[in-house]
Chains A and B, each alone.
Chain A
Amino acid sequence: MKEAPERVQMLPGAGARVGSLVRSGVRADARDLLRDHVLTVVGADAENSAPYVDPAVGGLVVTGARANTAVSALRNQYPHLVLLAEPNAPSTYTATKARPFKLDDAGLLQETLDAVLDGQLRSGADVAITPTGFIDAGDWGAAKAAVEQANLAAGDNILTLLPVSPRWCAEPAVDQLIAIAKRSRHPVAIALVSNQGNPWSAGGVVEGYRRLFDEVQWAMPWRTDLAAFASLASGAPAAALGQRPGNRRVNPPGKHGIASVPANRYPHVLLRDLLRFSRSDFMQTAWFASTEPYVCTCTHCGGRAVSRFGASTDDVLSAHLHNLEIVTSLMRECMALDPSDRAGWWAGLVRRAAYAHDELAAYTSVKVVMPADLQAWAKVFS
């Protein structure tokens, strides 16, 4: 961790929050706290990542079974950082009309939604996230129940999580999702839950996703990849973006991702010009096998190859911190803009990404196809 002091210099000081609305003993409204922030969803990397998060535009969402404990520890170190603890409901529990939330009923008394939310806030989370289970395609009863029951929870620092099948975001179901989300009195977070590859690649999802964030006044994307920025460009006031692939995706309960290769530990590296993540070993063997690799000038790479990362724990962490720095730079660019200018900014990035793919193909003499979701974003924002 010897680079840490440099990183602190690079980012305007974790704990030295600029324009902070929070923490003078009174909790701020969730909308005020989250607006114009892109949160990073992290698991075990929370402690290592926290020093590099720019509190002016970022924050952390800690996942995992011990998320509350982790947030509690981080809160003491980073009093001004936006911190949330995500309940692990979407990948372990399927919401129903009768029971939209994952609540522990193993004890003598049934756990209540209020108790779960209070637990997060007591641990130091700024905003409490509802433990909503996975909302399957077409299960309107579960979706409505989640919003209706969350609306009964008191407080202004609650985020109603709607972890939905991507089908909810495509026509014609997106109409109902929009109508349901509009009835929430809390801000809403939309996570796409799927084990069938990239959820934004499914037909009509990108278009519906854009409509959703355009039409619902306070909805933010949850556990996304760079689609976070497309959402901000569509009108979302905030976003939550996953640091590792597992934080960017949610599989339905009992399902595994079809694209996952558990044995491969090489990290996914974010390539800013291409607006995509790519595994380092793939870059080594497919793109840069016979040409000099691209280099990166971020604090963590220092002019070294973007494909250099191995599968060791240190390399993987280093790659994720590289990703965080790039995401942070995008956050700052985006948040510096008036919301009405963000669509044009994102459209420009996607356009340049298309050229960057052509350039990479020409440079490496390897066929490099622009991912389907980026192609869809290009079309939607053209």
Chain B
Amino acid sequence: MLGTVRVARGLTQSELARHAGLSQALLSKVEGGLVTLDEGRLASLADQLDVPEKLLVMSVAQAGPSTYVFHRKRSTLTVSKANQLRADLDLLHLQVAGIVGDFRPPTIPKIPLPVDGYTSPEEVAEMVRAALGYTHGPAFNLVSALESAGVAVLRRPLGSVRIDAMVSWPPGRRPIVLLGDHAPGDRQRFTVAHELGHAVMHDIPTETQETEADRFAAELLMPRVEVSPLLDRLTVPRLAQLKSEWGVSMAALLRRARDLDKISDFRYRSMNIELSRAGYRTREPVDVRVDEPRLVMSIVEERLASGETIESLANSAWMTSSEFRRVYLEEAPG
């Protein structure tokens, strides 16, 4: 896992080699599994990377099956940053498995979309809504609902405002949604729903995956049957009112109205211009509460309360004690 850890720390081979007093060529061979490090150099690398040595010598195969990582990002996110976040998510799977273990296994269904389009993302969203216990009305407390269904959600700085979230669900593990901490509540809720859509519907990347995840999110948060009658005679003030009632952005509600044929393309464009003139494209009125993840932290607290030491917890999470303290106890993330 040396290569994965290095990328997760945002270091190039040259940078790490220099810090650890190795040649870049040697480090490259070690990451490629061609050379085994002696104890001294292994300790030096582990120290530089602030990880336990056992993580560095773990093979990628031992770490568990890898899977495609879906992320809600802007196109300007650099490749190196995206790679760093993907590696971070691989490590997060190990951490979560070590901390949460078999507690509350995932119960949300995996429903791949058929190739011929007979089942739509909206249909899948309807099934998932039911599985999450939403019978009617807005899907509030979505993060809690996901955690109740065994999905691990973590919210922490992602080091870039160009990415909102990532998700991966490798076979045999629980799905993990990694959320950035910069998005407002309405955007965060749509992002969580979007990432859930990826987790439920997608295993391999497709051309249409982002549109499908958006459609899933729209139906999950704004179910057609309930929202459609509310979108008649839409105005900007009405959008603001609906935003407070449904916890989704005015922009998402407006798009939903267009997709449900409640407004024409022309009206959609003119209302977007209205929103833009009012400055609502950059900052919408009406604040929506940010859902805070609790699952992982509550288990950390329980294990500590039961007398387990930080060292033991860190060890099970494949972390050093210092990193564990910093990530789970000082920053109090999810």
Contacts and interface: CB of A to CB of B under 8 A. Distances in A.
Interface of A: 136-140, 165-167, 172-173, 175-176, 178-180, 182-183, 194, 196-197, 202-203
Identify the 9 closest CB pairs spanning chains A and B, nearest first.
Answer: A175-B117, A179-B118, A137-B261, A196-B264, A179-B117, A165-B261, A167-B261, A179-B116, A138-B224
A138 B208 contact: no
B265 A202 contact: yes
13 contacts: A136-B260, A137-B224, A138-B224, A138-B228, A138-B259, A140-B120, A166-B261, A172-B208, A172-B211, A172-B212, A176-B120, A179-B117, A196-B264
A202 B224 contact: no
Given A165-B261, A166-B261, A194-B261, A178 B224 contact: no
B264 A197 contact: yes
The A interface, classified by DSSP as helix, strand, loop or mixed, is loop
A136 B120 contact: no
Residue of B117, B228, B261 with most chain A CB atoms under a 10 A cut-off: B261
Given A176-B118, A179-B116, A138 B260 contact: yes
Given A167-B261, A179-B116, 19 more contacts: A136-B228, A136-B261, A137-B259, A137-B261, A138-B122, A138-B219, A138-B259, A165-B261, A172-B211, A172-B212, A172-B215, A175-B116, A176-B118, A176-B120, A179-B117, A179-B118, A194-B261, A202-B264, A203-B265
Given A139-B224, A202-B264, A183 B122 contact: no
Nearest to B215: A172
Nearest to B121: A172
Contact of A183 (B118, B120, B260, B261): B118
Contacts of B120: 140, 173, 175-176
Contacts of A138: 122, 219, 224, 228, 259-260
B123 interface: yes
A73 to B, nearest CB: 38
A182 B212 CA distance: 21
A194 B261 CA distance: 9
A194 to B, nearest CB: 7
Contacts of B117: 175-176, 178-179
A196 B264 CA distance: 6
Contacts of A179: 114, 116-118
Given A172-B211, A176-B117, A179-B117, A140 B122 contact: yes
A198 B259 CA distance: 17
Contacts of B119: 176
Contacts of B118: 176, 179-180, 183
Nearest to B260: A137
B89 to A, nearest CB: 28
A103 to B, nearest CB: 21
A136 B116 CA distance: 21
Contacts of A166: 261
A143 to B, nearest CB: 10
Nearest to A96: B225
Contacts of B224: 136-139
Nearest to A171: B211
Interface string B220-242: 00001000100000000000000
A135 to B, nearest CB: 11
Contacts of B259: 137-138, 167
Contacts of A183: 118
A137 B123 CA distance: 13
Nearest to B223: A138
Contacts of A178: 117
Nearest to A179: B118
A115 to B, nearest CB: 29
Nearest to A199: B261
A166 B261 CA distance: 8
Interface in B234-270: 259-261, 264-265
A30 B264 CA distance: 36
Contacts of A173: 120
Interface in B181-219: 208, 211-212, 215, 219
A356 B58 CA distance: 74
Nearest to B219: A138
Given A172-B208, A176-B118, A179-B117, A140 B123 contact: yes
Residue of B117, B123, B219 with most chain A CB atoms under a 10 A cut-off: B117
A179 B114 CA distance: 10
Interface in B66-125: 114, 116-120, 122-123
Contacts of A165: 261
Contacts of A194: 261
Contacts of B261: 136-137, 165-167, 194, 196
Nearest to B214: A172
A170 B117 CA distance: 14
Contacts of B116: 175, 179, 182
A24 B264 CA distance: 49
Nearest to A202: B265
Contacts of A139: 224
A172 B206 CA distance: 14
A194 B119 CA distance: 24
A75 B270 CA distance: 51
A179 to B, nearest CB: 4
Contacts of A202: 264-265
A71 to B, nearest CB: 32
A197 B123 CA distance: 29
A194 B260 CA distance: 12
A124 B116 CA distance: 38
B262 to A, nearest CB: 8
B230 to A, nearest CB: 14
A183 B215 CA distance: 23
Contacts of B265: 202-203
B123 to A, nearest CB: 6
B111 to A, nearest CB: 14
B171 to A, nearest CB: 27
Nearest to A201: B265
A178 B260 CA distance: 18
Residue of A137, A165, A197 with most chain B CB atoms under a 10 A cut-off: A137
A268 to B, nearest CB: 21
Contacts of B123: 140
Nearest to A252: B261
